[in-house]
Amino acid sequence: MSKGGLIVYSRERLMCCLYFLEDYIMSAMRANPNEKFEKLALDGGEPVRHKPLPLEFPGGHFIDHEEIDAVCCVLKRKSPFRYYGFERTDETDLFENQYAEYCRRKYALGVSSGTAALSISLAALGVGPGQEVLVPGYFWVSSVSAIVRAGAIPVLVDIDETFCMNPKDFEKKITRKSSVVLLVHMSGAPGRLDEICRITSENGLKMLADCAQANGASFKGKPIGSYGDIAIFSFQLNKNMTAGEGGMIVCDDKQLYNRIFACHDMGYARDAAGRLDTNDQQYQLWGQGCRMTEITAAMGRVQLRKLPKIVHKMNTAKYKIRKGLSDIEGIKFRTIIDPEGDSGPFLITIFPSSDICQKFVKALRCEGIAPPKVGLSNVPMTQWGLHIYYNNSSLVNKTSISDDGSPWSHPANKDSNYNYAKGTLTSMDDLISRSSILSIPSVLTDEDIGDIVCAYHKVAAHIPLK
Ligand SMILES: *Cc1c(COP(=O)(O)O)cnc(C)c1O
């Protein structure tokens, strides 16, 4: 078959799948089909687009005068501390109340980061030496560092095509030392949550849900933060809503909340005037000094109002792209159990082999499907840094902060000897080796979406997907 034939075929296919997109994309393609589609940009052809895609940072794009005014209000009253000052602003109290309501929880506590939220939660759950915490191998480094710093041993659980914990492997990895499952809802959406919740309760474990990457998501109609004994969130710049930094912990149990409170602060309760109360013997603990500032809370409150809009933008764009690519044989997407509840910040594409994945992504990037230089998007997942267990050298090498090699060498942990090097999780290794991850910025236009769909089709017409 001549090269021209191949192009016409791919153009027709493209036309079919682009019916839902703006007219101008169609006319652009009709106007200049040969130049754009005959030759891959990788081989010196004309790229599908010339300007980079927008940067990721979902909440960041939505910062405007509302956040500026809210933060200025706090500063004008010279009261950035939540418990007392010249004139109380109560931003953190208000933020927590609104957050608890949004997650359908009894309690919410603002903290300084998602990483702090994880450490505080594990401390509140009483996690320490002699315990194992189950965690999926696809995570962010904070999830596993919190376990190690608590003195417990992380046990890696394999993932499946949901890119979240595989329930069967979870069940298999439970031992008599297991105390908590640290479930991470990766890349915007949860995995097989029903089965994992069932296994957790059947085995008498506690669940700490790391929702840092899935704020605004839901599962079967319930907000993502409503699942687990404790759920945590992050407001760092990469997350769906942001205050630059910050985190939130939610739960329903009063006792647990009081422990969380003491651990996040100075180890003790506070009275109504915001002064430390060291008399309550139940809450004479050790604190981590991770309180939320009024500035963070003021900005967080504005972003929480915008969160549904931010998530709607990403979800809509992501599923337009998935639909536009659904007729390309040979590529698959991550399994999403409840697409309506997907917060949408990432598209994960699964290729038939690692080799094809590398070639395909390289060609796509040449077609202009890439962020500006400072961004990280549309990369093979092997390059997804500290999200991948075997890329964490501190974990692979079982590094300790102290000279005694804790927690790995702790006598109470002597029966918990695990491996963390590549090869430990076979299904995850395979999936990561042949998948790519593309950020779905919260400000993608139909033109951007059309370019992404076009580029995938163009590359698929040139690189065999078998
Ligand atoms: C970002 C993130 C965290 C940590 O949040 P910070 O606010 O950056 O400390 C924890 N877990 C996951 C899954 C994350 O993506």
pLDDT tens per residue across span 407-416: 999 999 999 9
| Pocket of ligand 1 contains residue 209 by CB under 6 Å | no
What spacing in Å lies between the alpha carbon of 121 and ligand 1's midpoint? Answer: 14
| Pocket of ligand 1 contains residue 247 by CB under 6 Å | yes
Whether the predicted pLDDT of 193 surpasses 70: yes
Whether the predicted pLDDT of 164 surpasses 60: yes
Rounded to whole angstroms, the Cα distance separating 451 from 292 reads 41
Q: Using DSSP, state whether 269 is helix, strand or coil.
A: strand
Q: Do residues 463 and 367 lie in contact, with contact meaning Cβ atoms separated by under 8 Å?
A: no
Neighbour tally for 344: CB within 10 Å: 28
Whether the predicted pLDDT of 320 surpasses 50: yes
Rounded to whole angstroms, the Cα distance separating 147 from 117 reads 12
Marked catalytic residue, from 36, 239, 306, 318: 239
| Pocket of ligand 1 contains residue 213 by CB under 6 Å | yes
pLDDT of amino acid 88: 86
What spacing in Å lies between the alpha carbon of 238 and ligand 1's midpoint? Answer: 9
**Percentage of the chain modeled with pLDDT above 70:** 92
| Pocket of ligand 1 contains residue 140 by CB under 6 Å | yes
- Verify whether residue 239 is a known catalytic residue: yes
What spacing in Å lies between the alpha carbon of 213 and ligand 1's midpoint? Answer: 7
Query: Mean pLDDT of all residues in the chain?
Result: 93
| Pocket of ligand 1 contains residue 115 by CB under 6 Å | yes
pLDDT of amino acid 29: 55
CATH of 60-304, one of 3.40.250.10, 3.40.640.10, 3.40.50.800, 2.120.10.30: 3.40.640.10
pLDDT of amino acid 16: 42
* Residue ranges of domains in the chain: 60-304
What spacing in Å lies between the alpha carbon of 182 and ligand 1's midpoint? Answer: 13
pLDDT of amino acid 226: 98
Rounded to whole angstroms, the Cα distance separating 235 from 45 reads 41
Q: Using DSSP, state whether 108 is helix, strand or coil.
A: strand
Relative to the CA of 213, which ligand 1 atom is closest? 15
- Buried b or exposed e, range 259-271, using 16+ CB within 10 angstroms: bbbbbbbbbbbbe
pLDDT of amino acid 105: 98
pLDDT of amino acid 386: 97
| Residue 34's pLDDT band (cuts 50, 70, 90) | low
**Percentage of the chain modeled with pLDDT above 90:** 90
What spacing in Å lies between the alpha carbon of 142 and ligand 1's midpoint? Answer: 6
pLDDT of amino acid 14: 55
pLDDT of amino acid 6: 38
Relative to the CA of 236, which ligand 1 atom is closest? 7
Q: For a pocket test of ligand 1, which of 139, 213, 240, 389 has the largest count of ligand atoms closer than 8 A to its C-beta?
A: 213
Q: Using DSSP, state whether 153 is helix, strand or coil.
A: strand
What are the CA-CA distances from residue 454 to residues 48, 321, 327, 335 (Å)?
Answer: 7, 10, 12, 23
| Pocket of ligand 1 contains residue 190 by CB under 6 Å | no
Whether the predicted pLDDT of 17 surpasses 50: no
Model confidence pLDDT, tens digit, residues 36-88:
678 999 999 999 999 999 999 999 999 999 999 999 999 999 999 999 999 88
What spacing in Å lies between the alpha carbon of 404 and ligand 1's midpoint? Answer: 28
Model confidence pLDDT, tens digit, residues 95-148:
999 999 999 999 999 999 999 999 999 999 999 999 999 999 999 999 999 999
The DSSP output letter for 279 is -
Average pLDDT over residues 440-455: 97
| Pocket of ligand 1 contains residue 114 by CB under 6 Å | yes
In 3D space, the residue among 88, 93, 112, 102 whose CA is nearest the CA of residue 243 turns out to be 112
Q: For a pocket test of ligand 1, which of 215, 236, 439 has the largest count of ligand atoms closer than 8 A to its C-beta?
A: 236
Model confidence pLDDT, tens digit, residues 224-283:
999 999 999 999 999 999 999 999 999 999 999 999 999 999 999 999 999 999 999 889
Relative to the CA of 239, which ligand 1 atom is closest? 1
What spacing in Å lies between the alpha carbon of 321 and ligand 1's midpoint? Answer: 27
What spacing in Å lies between the alpha carbon of 208 and ligand 1's midpoint? Answer: 14
Average pLDDT over residues 196-218: 98
Q: Do residues 170 and 425 lie in contact, with contact meaning Cβ atoms separated by under 8 Å?
A: no
Relative to the CA of 238, which ligand 1 atom is closest? 1
| Pocket of ligand 1 contains residue 234 by CB under 6 Å | yes
| Pocket of ligand 1 contains residue 119 by CB under 6 Å | no
Model confidence pLDDT, tens digit, residues 365-408:
999 999 999 999 999 999 999 999 999 999 999 999 999 999 99
Rounded to whole angstroms, the Cα distance separating 270 from 257 reads 13
Relative to the CA of 234, which ligand 1 atom is closest? 7
